[in-house]
Structure 1
Amino acid sequence: MFNEPVQVSAGRTSRREDTRRRVRAAAEECFRVTGYRGSAVRDIAAHAGVSVGTVMQFGGKAGLLVAVVDDWIAAIHSDAARAHPEGPARRAGADLAEDVSALLRPFLRRFLGEQELSREYAAVLLSGEHRSEVFSGLADTLRTELLAVLGAHDVVGARADDAVETLYLSYLGLLFTLGGEPHSDPDAELDRALGRLRAVARSLTAGDRDPAAGDRR
C-alpha cells in the first residue's frame, strides 16, 4: 500500500520513456524519407501515434533532430566500448596521430554519410535554441577516450590534458565545417579532415612523451 505512489511514478516514467523513444524513432524515419525540411511536426506525430503537443514536449522538430544525431554519436561510443571494454588501445604499427584518427573516423564518417541532416543539425546548434549532449556528457566520454589514446602512447600529465582539449575542439570544428556545406566526394573529404586531425595531433605532442616510459613500446 505504501509503495503504490512509487509504483505509479515509476509506471509514468516508463511510459514517458517509451513515448520518447517512439517519437525519436518516428522523427528519424521522417527525416530520412522526406528530409528535415520536408518533415512536419504533424507527420512525426502521426508516425509515432501521438499528438502534435506530445511531439512539441520532446523539443519539436529541431529538438528531435538534435536528439537523433546525439543518439548516433552515443551509439558510436557504445560500439567502441563493447569492442574495447578496457578503453582505446594502441594499434600495432600505428603512431599516436594515426590512433587519434582511427578514434575519430567513425564520427566524421557518419556526419559525411548524412550530409543533409548534418547541415541542419549544425544550423540548429548554431542558433542556440537547443543544447546538444555533444557539449556535455558525450564530450566527457570523447575526452576520456582521447586521453586513453594519448596515455597508450606515453603522453601524460598536463600536456596530455591540453592536447585532449585542443583535439576535441578541432574535432568539433570539423563537424561543423563538414556539416556546413554539401560534399560531392565524401570519402576524399573524410581523408582531408582526418589528415588535419593527424597534423594537429603531431604538432601538439611532439617531444611530449613520458621520458620514464623508456622503450616500453
Structure 2
Amino acid sequence: MQNVTVVDHPLVQHKLTIMRDKETSIAGFRVLLREIAHLLCYEVTRDLELEMISIKTPLETIEAPTLKGKKLVFASILRAGNGLLDGMLDLVPAARVAHIGIYRDHETLQPVEYYFKAPADIADRLVIVVDPMLATANSAIAAIERLKQRGANNLRFLCLLAAPEGVQKFNEAHPDVPVFTAAIDSHLNEKGYIVPGLGDAGDRMYGTR
C-alpha cells in the first residue's frame, strides 16, 4: 500500500489483539485505546522538526532541542476519534484540537456532517486527523476535504485499523495525506465493516449499539 505506514511495534500489535477480542470489557477497551494512541502518536510525530534553544540545567547552560514552529492540531472525527485524541493529548498537551462531527448513514454508507470547529490559524499548523477506523474512507475523505477548505495544507491521517478498499479510496482522493495505522485488515463486508476488525470502535468504547 502506497503512502501508508503500518506501525508494527510489538506493543502496538499486542494491545490491538486484546482490543479485537469481543470479550474485552468496555473499560479495558478504553484503556487500551488510550495506551495504543500513545504508541501511534510517537510514530506519526517521528519527523517533527526541532530547533536548538539555550537553557540552564542545575549544572550549566546548554543548547538543547525543542519542537520548532507552531503547536500541532489534532483533529478528531467524532465520536470514536476522541478515544485516540485523549491518548495523544497525554503526550502533546499543548496541541490545539479540532472537532469534526461526521456520522455514516447506515443505508448509503455516505458521510453526514453535523459539527465542525477548528483553530483559526489551521493553515499554519501540522494537522493530524484521528479516527480509529478507515473502512469505506467516506468519513475520512470528507473530514480532510473540510479541513482543506479551512486552509489546512499539511495533514496526516492516523487510525487504528484500515481496510484495503478504504486505503485505496483515501489515497485516490487525498494522495498528499499520508496514512498511519496499526494494521491493514482483509476486507470490508457488505455492511461496510472491517473484517476481521474489532467491531464498531465507538460502540465498544461507549457501550452503545
Do both proteins adopt the same fold according to a TM-score greater than 0.5, normalized to the shorter chain? no
Q: Quick check: which has more Rg, 1 or 2? A: 1
User: Aligning the two structures, in what range does the TM-score lie when normalised by the shorter sequence?
Assistant: under 0.3
Which structure features the higher share of strand residues? 2
